[in-house]
Amino acid sequence: VLSDGHYAPSADIFSFGIILSELDTHQLPYSDLTNAKGNALTDTAIMAAVMRGELQPTFRSDAQPWLVDFAKKCIDTDPLNRPTAMEAAYFLRMELRKLVNTSN
């Protein structure tokens, strides 16, 4: 949306990937990043770096690998590589079933 001004559903999938990072870390994305002077990055600097594909949100080191992999697919710089909402819902349902089946 920021690079060409055109909205597509893949923008919502990108946002969902960012939210997954927030849920994992309990922090705002990119809040842990600083510039050369040790100051927090400005919103403008963050947006520019994200648009160039130079910046991705962080995840906890003990995060579930499937969650990190899925979130990274959601925030792929190429919108065509992101899952659709239907694919995302299916994937999450399958992971939930795995969790339920292993806890029984």
Percentage of the chain modeled with pLDDT above 90: 67
In-domain check, residue 1: no
Print burial letters for 70-88: b (CB count within 10 Å at least 16), e (below 16): bbebbbbeeeeebbeeeeb
In-domain check, residue 3: no
Comparing 14-28, 36-50, 57-71, which segment has the lowest mean pLDDT? 36-50
Higher pLDDT, 53 or 62: 62
Q: Please state, in angstroms and rounded to a whole number, the distance separating the CA atoms of residues 63 and 83.
A: 20
Geometric angle at alpha carbon 83, from 78 and 84, rounded to 5° = 115
Number of domains in the chain: 1
In-domain check, residue 39: yes
Question: What pLDDT was estimated at residue 35?
Answer: 85
Query: Is the CB of residue 60 less than 8 Å from the CB of residue 24?
Result: yes
Structure token pair of residue 9: 């559903």
CATH number where 45 lies: 1.10.510.10
> What's the length of the chain?
104
In-domain check, residue 84: yes
Structure token pair of residue 69: 């992999």
Range of the domain at 98: 9-103
Q: How far is CA 11 from the centre of its chain?
A: 11
Question: What pLDDT was estimated at residue 81?
Answer: 97
> pLDDT at residue 38 above 80?
yes
Question: What pLDDT was estimated at residue 4?
Answer: 65
Question: What pLDDT was estimated at residue 1?
Answer: 56
In-domain check, residue 4: no
Question: What pLDDT was estimated at residue 91?
Answer: 98
